[in-house]
């Protein structure tokens, strides 16, 4: 059992451990984002669902409501075309509605092409950098004042093994995840002595999502873990009642 497994084996979140927390989740309409958004709501959080597809966000909203959890909020934003003003307006809307932000999960990302650098499309490369790198940077920057208003805030970036060591044919996705890992450690270092904001990344590993199916079309999805299996780690890093989790910052977690 590795240290993370030992840590999670001893972690038993209380029923309302996220009560009164306001947590924003990007890419909340499907896959890991959907599973974690619903989990946060089930532990008492008010979840802000961020994504570009209204129907998917509304479906998650309805599932949260049907489960008897606190009413979620929906903010539609397309990270590929969003301007700095769009992010500013989103931050202002959160401020006006909730007055603060206790958690921010960066989950939205594009896979892009699986081809060599020599053959990689320049336009798709730029598209991935916009969605996978620029969007998390700008959203975090605009939300920092809201996170500073929280008694104990947590920012979680979504990493990848190819962000730590590049592999052939992973192109812009690998490069974008390397940038995210560096952004995470840089921000964590900057905030460590000046705020109560913890910043970490989670590499979900092989998970049963549409992105995984696109990357490995021949793989049997039933042999890959479900998004729901990741819930303990994502909750651990957001749990305000968990003093050890609240003190962790600048770490890369592999699930």
Q: Which of 61, 173, 234, 236 is catalytic?
A: 173
What are phi and psi for residue 214, nearest 5 degrees?
A: -70, -35
Contact present, 1 and 230 (Cβ < 8 Å): no
173 is catalytic: yes
From 9, 13, 3, select the one nearest 241 (Cα to Cα): 13
CA distance 109 to 131: 6
Please state, in angstroms and as integers, the Cα–Cα distance from residue 106 to each residue in 15, 50, 168, 223, following that order: 24, 10, 25, 26
Q: Which residues contact 190 (CB under 8 A, 6 or more apart)?
A: none
Query: H helices of 99-225, where?
Result: 122-129, 135-148, 161-164, 171-191, 210-215
List residues with catalytic annotation.
173
């Amino acid at each position: 059992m590795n240290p993370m497994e030992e840590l999670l084996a001893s972690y038993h979140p209380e029923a309302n451990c996220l009560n009164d927390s306001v947590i924003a989740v990007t890419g909340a309409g499907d896959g890991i984002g959907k599973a974690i958004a619903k989990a946060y709501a089930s532990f008492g959080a008010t979840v802000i669902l961020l994504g570009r597809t209204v129907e998917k966000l509304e479906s998650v909203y309805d599932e949260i409501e049907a489960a008897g959890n606190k009413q979620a909020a929906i903010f539609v934003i397309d990270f590929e075309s969003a301007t700095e003003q769009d992010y500013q307006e989103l931050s202002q809307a959160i401020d006006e509605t909730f007055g603060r932000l206790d958690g921010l999960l960066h989950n939205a990302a594009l896979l892009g092409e699986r081809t060599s650098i020599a053959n990689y499309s320049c336009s798709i490369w730029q598209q991935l950098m916009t969605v996978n790198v620029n969007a998390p940077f700008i959203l975090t920057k605009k939300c920092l004042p809201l996170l500073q208003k929280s008694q104990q805030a947590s920012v979680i970036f979504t990493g990848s093994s190819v962000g730590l060591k590049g592999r052939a044919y992973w192109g812009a996705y690998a490069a974008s995840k390397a940038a995210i890992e560096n952004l995470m450690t840089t921000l964590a270092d900057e905030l460590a002595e000046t705020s109560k904001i913890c910043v970490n990344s989670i590499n979900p590993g092989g998970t049963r999502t549409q992105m995984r199916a696109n990357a490995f079309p021949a793989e049997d999805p039933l042999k890959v873990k479900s998004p729901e299996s990741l819930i303990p780690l994502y909750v651990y890093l957001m749990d305000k009642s968990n003093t050890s989790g609240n003190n962790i910052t600048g770490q890369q977690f592999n699930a």
